[in-house]
A = this chain, B = another copy of it.
Amino acid sequence: MKAKELMDKDFVYLSCEDSVVEVSKVMEEIRRFTCPVVNDNKQLVGWITSFDITRGLREGNEKINEIMSSYEDIITIHEDAPARLAVVLTANNKFVTVPVINDDNQVIGMVRACDIVELLSELYDIKVSKLYKAMQNQLKGVTWEELMDASALVSQKTTGIKISPEDYEANIMNATFGEAIWATGGLEKFFAGLISVGELVIARRVGKARK
């Protein structure tokens, strides 16, 4: 995934000559704490945050170029850079927005923290039951009941707490992937548990076939 696939194309850009007062009204209206400042060729030349605006209003500055951060101080991301980089920049610098630029240094979009949250959280929201269904489809011939039976056994072995296949099923039907990795103590452990279930199911199948 590239930065350009994650960016919001719906943004407002400012000019150096824009009035601080007018810009303050626009930013309130569109509810954006940050805006890029561009030249006539839409190339990035500055950056405005609400902090610049409040200072500018207080100190009576008139034009945007009196209060903006200069180009050298702006952290940007190229449209073809991995989206992952935008995530790292946001997390490490506590940004709310990272401007996305093309080869000509034109601003073509903005990656916003709230949009990243939405994207990343989708993974956490996947139902655990979907993973079990994927496992069942993969292990052809294994029934759902056999899977729940093996899962309850593995769970019991791992946690020391007795659980029926029915209760186990009820748990995973409600749980999300995010909750499951949290509950098991991390992705590797969650995953190891599922492999363990798969192993047990296969062993039982082999056992049956031999009889």
Contact = CB atoms under 8 A, between A and B. Distances in A.
A11 to B, nearest CB: 13
Nearest to A188: B134
A124 interface: yes
A195 B50 contact: no
B188 A130 contact: yes
A55 interface: yes
Contacts of A189: 134
Contact of A51 (B50, B88, B96, B134): B50
A81 interface: no
A141 to B, nearest CB: 11
A208 interface: no
Nearest to A179: B84
Contact of A117 (B24, B87, B135, B177): B87
Interface of A: 1, 21, 24-25, 27-28, 31, 33, 50-51, 53-55, 57-58, 84, 87-88, 90-96, 112-114, 116-118, 120-121, 123-124, 126, 130-131, 133-135, 137-139, 176-179, 181-182, 187-189, 191-192, 194-196, 198-199, 202-203, 206
Given A93-B114, A123-B124, A131-B188, 15 more contacts: A50-B54, A54-B57, A57-B57, A84-B124, A91-B118, A92-B118, A94-B112, A94-B114, A96-B96, A123-B123, A134-B191, A135-B195, A137-B192, A139-B195, A191-B194
